[in-house]
């Protein structure tokens, strides 16, 4: 399993404008084969900070995601939404367990 954890930053006053694009990205990604989870969450203390959490079954599924039309659309919207800071880290794991 592959996990992607990180953040995306945008001006807090652009958040309402960004929500429809974010929702489209989340829904389309969750519908992809191999997507085990895909979420964005607004930070409680830093309103322009969005936490990103993704889980993919394997590298092939993630590579297909990177080539999808919805990710191209999402990335094309960044300039208008003021997204200039993106920090994502990929982790490879053998699985997980509830704690």
**The domain that contains 80 carries what CATH number?**
3.30.70.100
pLDDT tens-digit map of 35-77: 999 999 999 999 999 999 999 999 999 999 999 999 999 999 9
13 located within any domain: yes
In Å, what is the CA distance from 85 to each residue of 8, 10, 12, 49, 88? 6, 7, 13, 9, 10
What's the total number of domains in the chain? 1
Domain around 85: 2-92
pTM of the model: 0.91
Query: Is the residue at 70 inside a domain?
Result: yes
Quick one: tokens of 42? 């607004």
Predicted pLDDT of residue 49: 97
Kindly tell me the number of DSSP H helices and DSSP E strands found in the chain. Answer: 4, 4
């Amino acid at each position: 399993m592959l996990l992607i954890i990180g953040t995306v930053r945008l001006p807090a006053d652009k958040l309402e404008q960004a929500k429809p694009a974010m929702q489209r990205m989340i829904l389309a990604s969750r519908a992809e084969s191999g997507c085990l989870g895909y979420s964005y969450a607004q930070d409680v203390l830093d309103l322009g900070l969005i936490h990103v959490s993704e889980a993919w079954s394997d590298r092939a599924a993630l590579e297909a995601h990177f080539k999808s039309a919805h990710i191209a659309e999402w990335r094309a919207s960044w300039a208008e939404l003021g997204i200039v800071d993106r920090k994502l880290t990929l982790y490879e794991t053998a699985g997980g367990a509830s704690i």
